[in-house]
Amino acid sequence: MTASVVSHPPIAARRGAARARTWWGKAWVRALEEAAYAETDLRRGRSLSRAGAVGGISLTAGQVVAAVADDRGLHTVDARLPVLTPESRATLVEVVAAEAGRIGSLLAGDLPHSLVEHADEAGVELLPFGTELETTCTCVGWLDPCPHALAVLSQVAWLVDDDPLVLLHLRGLPRDELLAGLHARTAVSYTSDGGEETDADLDTALDAAARAARILELLDGDADARVDHLF
């Protein structure tokens, strides 16, 4: 497996209750809450994350790296999550392909309950738990995760919240590898009468997801235009 690194720019300050909205984002938050040693660390981490103190986030399979600034300087956080084995990644591809619409849902920013449940039944755990999250930080604190690490993990929850493929990437199955696996699985299959089936269903799902994203983009742009017109 080749390392695929995705860099996310710094997230602007978020005021108020900027917590996870989706059920899978909340599952990530529960994991970091389980990993924390004290409520005060959690509050400090959330405060740093909402204040925009976290720099750009570099994300690859099993690892998140980011810098966090506070009144004592700049600190580098390295957070790790176990990746799936090659066998488990192959099983996950099969689970995604097992039900029509799952890949379209993932590309549209949704993580179906049934996908996670079926993956779990097949021995593949997607959602993290507290003891899986390991962190190091260059600050002088002796506890891991420290507030800086919790700040980074809090922002990762926002990224996972917006795009469940971030979670799959962290588990070792980036988007391109997932799509390649689905194409390889469905590229040439044989029907009971000896005919061939192509990957038309997958292409249709990809096209539908792209169209949906474009429609949302146009709607957002139209809404902005109406607001500008009013003022």
The residue with greater pLDDT, 208 or 184, is 184
Is 217 inside a domain boundary?
A: no
| Overall number of domains in the chain | 1
pLDDT over threshold 80, residue 211: no
Least confident of 14-18, 21-25, 97-101: 14-18
Mean pLDDT in residue range 198-212: 52
* Residue from 65, 89, 112 nearest 172 by CA: 89
- In the chain, the DSSP E strands lie at 6-8, 57-60, 63-70, 73-80, 134-137, 189-190, 196-197
Query: In terms of residue numbers, what domain contains 33?
Result: 16-187
Return d(Cα 142, Cα 168) in angstroms, integer: 30
Is 61 inside a domain boundary?
A: yes
pLDDT over threshold 90, residue 64: yes
- CA–CA–CA angle 11, 62, 34 (5° rounding): 75
pLDDT band for position 67 (cuts 50, 70, 90):
very high
Residue whose entry in the numeric block shows the structure tokens 């089936």: 197
Is 218 inside a domain boundary?
A: no
User: For residue 203, what pLDDT is reported?
Assistant: 53
Is 222 inside a domain boundary?
A: no
Is 112 inside a domain boundary?
A: yes
Q: What is the pTM of this model?
A: 0.79
Is 204 inside a domain boundary?
A: no
Is 2 inside a domain boundary?
A: no
Distance from chain centroid for Cα 36: 20
Strand 196-197 relative to strand 189-190: parallel, antiparallel, unpaired?
antiparallel
User: For residue 207, what pLDDT is reported?
Assistant: 56
Is 210 inside a domain boundary?
A: no
User: For residue 80, what pLDDT is reported?
Assistant: 97
